Structure 1
Amino acid sequence: MQPIKTALCSFGMSGYVFHAPLLAANPNFTLSTVWERTKNEAEKQYSDIHTVRTFDELLSDEQLQLVVVNTPSITHFDYTKKALEAGKHVVVEKPFTATVKQAETLMALANKKNLHLTVFHNRRWDSDFKTVKKILDAKVLGEITDVEIHYDRFEPALSAKTHKEEPTAAVGSIYDLGSHLIDQALQLFGKPNALFADADSYRPNSKVIDYFDIKLFYNHFRVALKSSYFVKEPTPAYVIHGTKGSFLKSRADIQEAALKKRVSPLDKNWGEEPVDQQGVLHTISEGESVKKHIYSEKGNCMDFYDQLYDAIMSKGPLPVQAEEAKNCIEIIERAYQSINEKRMVSL
């Protein structure tokens, strides 16, 4: 089969750090086109790439099969809709959309056009998350009683990317970092019964949310999703307690850092965490306390595009179902409702 001809809608961080290297390293895809408004940065790294100046020019290529919508989140709905209408399969960066209604509109359009629509929730393929999932699947913690998942940073200054600091639709840390945490919680535990959310803006002159604490309520346990831009000394990113013990794990996946250093995703050590970042499992076994370090699973976000190729070739499911991404947006909408109304919200 011929490789899938693919275009990027931007060559900002998500383009040059994530999508371009993953696509270029995958023989099932041909990275053919990039939309850059004024620059030619992609051509400096990929000599065979074609640069276009408008989205319409990008979509006019009849041989183009897949479009990666990795533009600012406020544009996701419009660009994805236009790409689907042009008959292209689409990968959308997270967050999927600003609203559930927008997500449902895109899903209906993709279904009508018999096209594949997926969302780049790449943190599912991080080593830390895969390790946490392995522990939970093994049920060594007994019945889960309490969970915290963090995505913290120390970034007191406002972003130089002004579109990330304007209080518009789909902007702020709940849509940005929260999309990762919510998707991971839904993958691990399913949809909660209710939630309560608290948020604030702590950076000087910030107009958007940069701190949040979202508590998800399940039948017999709680999951707290937390993020702050003022965490200099990080705590464990995953804290999971159960009736038989606890598991603590740092957020240590190395793939993003490796991609920034231009390490190839085909490197033999790809996705291997440092040994000192192993998680700690402390359980009770046959009446004895057992504490040990757990070897981390290998991360590999290349799997996203491998699964996407199989889906397009009718060989398997999409790596991320649009329905799953829509559920993430529903949690975000309800979180904002909880923040505004200062109350618990049922789901």
Structure 2
Amino acid sequence: MQKIKTALLSYGMSGKVFHAPFLELHEGFELTGAWERSKKLIQQDFPEVKSYASLEELLADDATLVVVNTPVGTHYEYARQALLAGKNVVVEKAFTTTVAEAEALKQLAEEKGLKLAVFQNRRWDSDFKTVQQVIASGDLGEIVDAEIHFDRYNPKLSPKQHKETANSGAGILKDLGPHIIDQALCLFGKPDAVFADIRITRDNSQVDDVLDILLYYPNTRVRLKASFFVKEPLPSYIFHGRKGSFLKSRGDIQEDELKLGKKPDTTENWGKEPEAQSGLLHTEKNGVDIRRTLPTLSGNYYAFYDGMYQSIVNNTKEPVTATEGVHVMEIIEAALQSSTEKRNIIL
């Protein structure tokens, strides 16, 4: 099997939890190392790899794939430099800070004949995969109203300065927002218009920490919400169709398992939610009212990297394309404009 040498641009939580374990699991990848600025940690977990002292040193090495998993404000410049160096690139969310930056990266990758993907890993969460299955089944009929939440209770400011200092990459809209915006676009495509209320609610916060976005479709309204002041959360997925409803909590366990140091695998046992997290389906079939819990599918972020492997080796489409990344940024920019001007933004 062809090996794709891969380097990370950091080895903090994201590198250790979301990327390295799946690169290690997939036999088509070989981790070459990570750019580490202060703490030198990657060789504790992977003694055979390199700890690069600079981006220039990393890009001069023989990796063919670079994962840009640094603060959002750096994504555009680091991804641009990697593409100019002839590397295929995976960029974490938010893809960039503006639509113009996202489009520029997309064009550069196309000009260079390189692969560029956005790491929208929540597409492979167990809860969202189950939602997709329910909607595709037709059990709900045409969806008329939907809500997707990414709520937490965490009123304290993050110790990570780049997350709490006012800058173009900080705030909940570019942190949790890309997850739920991307999920909405996966389910319903691009909306006709956007209305949003983006606010600051935490004491001494300099960045937005509450979002409420309404996406307008011809026959459907989709509300996206995220907040740090939700002590008792509602279901994270609420879908009402002409035939019935589906309610589901945000129950994917992969992040928690990975933070505990557990190694992922490709079996159905990985990413398997507890039965208590099963969704509630209430619909009607052949005149019979049906109300039952629905088992949750297994989630696995391995699918992203398997898709990335196929994309590079067999020239298939990236698992999350740069075009899809541009679309998420378009919603983010429209939401910011809507919140500032207090009006609907037509796309």
**Same fold by TM-score, threshold 0.5 exceeded?**
yes
1:256: which partner in 2?
A: 255
Residue 183 of structure 1 aligns with which residue?
182
State which drifts further: 315-324 or 223-232: 315-324
Structure 1 match to 2:27:
27
Q: Counterparts in 2 of 1:79-98, with a 5 A limit?
A: 79-98=78-97
Question: What amino acid is the match of 1:326?
Answer: V
Equivalent in the alignment of 2:296: 296
Alignment map for 1:251-290 (pairs within 5 Å):
251-266=250-265, 268=267, 269-290=269-290
CA contact (8 A) 2:33 2:42 kept: no
| Cα distance in 1 between the residues matched to 2:85 and 2:198 | 39
Give the aligned partner of residue 159 of structure 2.
Answer: 160
CA separation of 1:141 and 1:267: change in aligned 2, threshold 3 A: closer
Deviation string 1:279-335 (CA, Å, 9 cap, x unpaired) is 000012233321011111110110100011011012522100110011000000000
Counterparts of 1:329 and 1:171, CA distance in 2: 14
Note the C-alpha offset of 1:170.
Answer: 2.2
Superposed CA offset, 1:154-180 (max 9, x none): 110000101001111121101110000
Q: Is the 8 A contact 1:81 1:106 kept in 2?
A: yes
Distance in 2 between residues matched to 1:42 and 1:290, nearest whole Å:
51
Distance 1:38 1:2 in 2: 33
Structure 1 residue aligned with 2:49 = 49
Counterparts in 2 of 1:42-121, with a 5 A limit? 42-61=42-61, 63-121=62-120
What corresponds to 2:322 in structure 1?
322
Single out whichever of 166-175 and 84-93 deviates more from structure 2.
Answer: 166-175
Q: Which amino acid aligns with 2:302?
A: M
Q: Which residue identity does 2:77 align to in structure 1?
A: D
1:244-284 deviation line (CA, Å, top 9, x unaligned): 11000010011111111111111741011100000000012
Q: 1:189 to 1:233 in 2, by over 3 A?
A: same
1:118 corresponds to which letter in structure 2? Answer: A
Q: Which amino acid aligns with 1:48?
A: E
Contact 2:6–2:67, Cα closer than 8 Å, also in 1: yes
1:239 aligns with 2:217: no
Identity %: 52
1:149 aligns with 2:148: yes
* Alpha-carbon distance between aligned partners in 2 of 1:104 and 1:267, rounded to the nearest angstrom: 34
Where structure 2 has 5 or more consecutive residues not aligned to the other structure, the ranges are none
For residues 223 and 191 of structure 2, the distance between their equivalents in structure 1, rounded to whole angstroms, comes to: 12
Bigger mean CA offset, 119-128 vs 39-48? 39-48
Q: Which residue of 2 aligns with 1:332?
A: 332
Alpha-carbon deviation of 1:220? 1.1
CA distance in 1, matches of 2:243, 2:104: 45
Q: Find the counterpart in structure 1 of residue 312 from structure 2.
A: 312
Secondary structure of residue in 1 paired with 2:114: coil
Cα distance in 2 for partners of 1:86, 1:274 equals 45
Q: Is the 8 A contact 1:38 1:53 kept in 2?
A: no
Counterpart residue type for residue 210 of structure 1: D
Q: Which runs of 5+ in 1 are unaligned?
A: none
State the shift of 1:19 in Å: 0.5
Q: Give me the TM-score of the superposition, normalised by structure 1.
A: 0.98
Asked if the contact 1:89/1:116 (under 8 Å) is kept, the reply is: yes
Residue type of the partner of 2:278?
Q
Aligned twin of 1:38: 38
Alignment size in residue pairs: 346
Aligned partners of 1:70 and 1:93: how far apart in 2?
5
Q: Within 2, Cα distance between the matches of 1:226 and 1:299?
A: 22
- The runs of at least 4 aligned residues of structure 1 exceeding 6 Å deviation read none
CA distance in 2, matches of 1:226, 1:39: 35
Give the match's secondary structure for 2:214.
Answer: strand
Whichever residue aligns with residue 6 of structure 2, its letter is T
Maintained 8 Å contact 1:238/1:250: yes
With over 3 angstroms needed to count, the CA separation of the structure-2 counterparts of 1:267 and 1:220, relative to structure 1, is closer
In 1, Cα distance between equivalents of 2:128 and 2:101? 28
